[in-house]
Amino acid sequence: MNNWLKTTVLMASILALFMFVGGLIGGKNGMLLALLFGGAMNVFAYWNSDKMVLHMYNAHEVDEHTAPELYGMVRDLAGRAGLPMPRVYVIEEDQPNAFATGRNPEHAAVAATTGIMRLLSYRELRGVMAHELTHVQNRDILISTISATMAGAISALANFALFFGGRDENGRSVNPIAGILIALLAPLAASLIQMAISRAREFGADAGGAQISGDPLSLANALSKIEAYASGIPMYAAEVHPETAQMMIINPLTGDGLSNLFRTHPTTTERVARLHAMASGQLNY
C-alpha cells in the first residue's frame, strides 16, 4: 500500500471515528457536526500539523551557525539520500530521542533532543538522523504527524462526551456509562489506527537509515543506548501528548504494563537484531 493510499485510509478512518463519536454525543446532528469538524481538522492537520507538533515540544530551529555539527550532519545525509535540505530543530529535553515531521520532503523538518546529542557518539547520532531522513524519503512523516494531531482531537471529543453526556437520535440523554465508554474507547480506537500503520514504518526506516549512513551497527548501538536511557528519563511533552509518541525513534513514554499491549514501535531487541543481520550480510537492506 503506497503512502498516499495509507494517508487516505488513515484520514477516512479517523473521520469515521469522529462521526461515530459525534453520533453518540448528539445523534444525527452530532454526527453532522463531527463530520464538519473532522473534515476541517483533516485539512488543518495537512497544512499545520508539523508546526503544532514542533510547538508542543518547544523545538527551536537551528542552522549551520547555531548547531554546526548537527546541521552539517543532516545536510550531508540529505545529500546522500537525494533529499532537499530539511529544517533542523533542537528540543531542550534530557531524554534522548528524535523525530521527523512535515507534509512532504520539500516541507520536512527533523528534530533531536539535547539529551540524544549528549548521549550518542557522532556515528551513532548520524545513524539516528539517517533513520529520520528515511521517514522523510518514504513520506511517512505526513501519516505520523496527521495521525498524532487527529488522535489528540479524538481524545478531546471523547472528553467532551464524558462531561456533557451522550444523546440518541431523538435528542434524549443516554446512559451516562456510555459517555465514560466513549471517553475510554475512542482514544483507544485512535491508537489502534496509529498502530496499524506505524510499526512497519520503523523497520523500513531502520533499513533505510542503515543504507544512507552506511553504518547499521552504529544505528543499532544508538537504539540500544536510547532505549536504556529513555525509559528512566520522562519527557514531559510526550506524557502530556501521548498521541505523538509514535513519531519518535524510540517510544518516549515511561508507562509499563497495559501500555505495552499497544506499542507503536517494534521491540528494540528485534530492531537491533535486524540491523546486526544487515551488517553481517544475512539480511538485505
Q: Among all residues, which ones are annotated catalytic?
A: 132
Q: In whole angstroms, give the CA distance from residue 280 to residue 78.
A: 25
CA distances from 61 to 17, 53, 124, 133, 191 (A): 35, 13, 22, 17, 29
For residue 60, the surrounding DSSP H or E stretch is strand 60-62
Are residues 264 and 199 in contact, defined by beta-carbon separation less than 8 angstroms? yes
CA distances from 283 to 88, 127, 266, 274, 275 (A): 32, 18, 17, 7, 8
DSSP annotation of 109: E
Pairing of strands 87-91, 98-102: unpaired
Q: In whole angstroms, give the CA distance from residue 197 to residue 6.
A: 8
Q: In whole angstroms, give the CA distance from residue 42 to residue 155.
A: 15
For residue 259, the surrounding DSSP H or E stretch is none
Provide the Cα torsion 243, 249, 251, 254; round to 10°: -110
